[in-house]
């Protein structure tokens, strides 16, 4: 099954951004052992917009977390941009996330005590940029997502769609290689959801961002260039989406 994912998308090494090989992920809940992912292989080329679909508990979010360095596999290797991230120390992995990954969450996960600009600026606090430069970049990111008029607004003062766009601005402000989106439209109405998908598609097409998006929504998945389905921790099928080309 994982062979399907590989066979449909043979990629030259140079174009390969994410290389997941033989990954198992096991969770222990008390005395119970839960196999979430089993022997999973997945290759994602640069510039792809990949949708991951599957029923609840199929391992989509776990896979996303592993590729984003938020968790570690029980077995197997994960290489992103030529770097074996499963071998990095916690400290180095945090640094790698800061530089290479942008995360977009279903429930936005903005800091309620910070304005939109301050929220977007958060990842930049870990850089050596001056306060002026951080501010400039945060404002640029908010401009890209169409929120330059909401710089000083707090999350509670914004709609769900605006909060999610702020979340996307926070994800792209460090100009990461990889955007990981965990059900980015799951908490939005259709119109707002479409706007977010438009935005992700634009980031993929115009800025070449590689995007992995977990979704339950077939319409959202259709925006991707490729869709993979997971079931019980294994890839079961792959298909080209409308976003291709």
Partner 1 sequence: MKFLSLIFGNLRRKKLRTALTVLSIIVAFVLFGYLGAIRAAFLAGIDVAGADRLITRNKVSLINLMPMAHLAEIERVEGVDMAAHNTWFGGIYQEPSNFFAQIVVEPEALLELFPEYVVSEEDQRRWLATRTGVLIGRGLAERFEWSVGDKVPIMNPLWSQQGGDPNWVFDVAAIYDGAEQGVDTSQMFIRFDFFDEARSGGQGLVGWYTVRIDDPDRAAEVAVAIDQVFANSPDETKTEPEGAFIQGFANQMGNIGFIITSIVGAVFFTILLVAGNTMAYSVRERINELAVLKAVGFTDGGVLGLVLGESLVITVIGGGIGLALAWLMVSAGDPTGGALPVFFIPLRDLLLGVLLIFVLAFIAGIFPARMAQRLQVADALRR
How far is C-alpha 128 from the chain's CA centre?
Answer: 25
Stretches 14-22, 43-51, 66-74, 210-218: which one binds partner 1 (CB under 8 A)?
Answer: 66-74
Rule CB under 8 A: say whether 68 interacts with partner 1: yes
Cα angle at 69 between 65 and 70, to 5 degrees?
A: 55
Cβ neighbours, 10 Å, residue 113: 9
Could you tell me the smallest distance in angstroms from the CB atom of residue 245 to partner 1? 32
How far is C-alpha 108 from the chain's CA centre?
Answer: 13
The phi and psi torsions of 41 (rounded to 5 degrees) equal -115, 140
Over the window 115 to 144, marking each residue x when it contacts partner 1 by CB under 8 A and - when it does not, the resulting string is: ---x---xx-xx----x--x----------
Rule CB under 8 A: say whether 95 interacts with partner 1: yes
Cβ neighbours, 10 Å, residue 159: 12
Q: Measure the CA–CA gap between 199 and 102, rounded to whole angstroms.
A: 14
Of 171-210, binders to partner 1 (CB under 8 A) are none
Could you tell me the smallest distance in angstroms from the CB atom of residue 178 to partner 1? 13
Residues of the shown chain interacting with partner 1 in the complex, contacts defined by CB under 8 A: 61-62, 65, 68, 70-71, 90-91, 94-95, 97-99, 103, 105, 109, 111-114, 118, 122-123, 125-126, 131, 134, 170
């Amino acid at each position: 099954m994982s062979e399907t994912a590989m066979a449909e998308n043979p990629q030259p090494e140079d174009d390969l951004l994410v290389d997941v090989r033989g990954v198992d992920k096991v969770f222990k809940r008390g005395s119970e052992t839960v196999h979430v992912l089993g022997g999973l292989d997945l290759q994602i080329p640069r510039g792809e917009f990949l949708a991951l679909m599957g029923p609840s508990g199929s391992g989509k979010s776990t896979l996303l977390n592993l590729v984003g360095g938020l968790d570690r596999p029980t077995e197997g290797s994960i290489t992103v941009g030529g770097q074996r991230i499963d071998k990095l120390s916690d400290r180095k992995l945090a640094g790698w996330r800061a530089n290479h990954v942008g995360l977009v969450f279903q429930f936005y996960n903005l800091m309620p005590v910070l304005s939109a600009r301050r929220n977007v600026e958060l990842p930049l606090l870990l850089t050596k940029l001056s306060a002026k430069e951080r501010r400039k970049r945060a404002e640029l990111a908010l401009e890209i997502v169409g929120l330059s008029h909401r710089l000083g607004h707090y999350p509670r003062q914004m709609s769900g769609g605006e909060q999610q766009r702020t979340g996307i601005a926070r994800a792209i402000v460090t100009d990461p290689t990889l955007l990981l989106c965990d059900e980015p439209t799951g908490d939005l109405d259709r119109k707002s959801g479409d706007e977010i998908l438009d935005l992700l598609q634009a980031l993929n097409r115009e800025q070449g961002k590689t995007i992995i998006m977990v979704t339950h929504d077939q319409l959202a998945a259709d925006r991707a260039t490729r869709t993979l389905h997971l079931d019980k921790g294994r890839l079961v099928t792959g298909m080209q989406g409308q976003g291709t080309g």
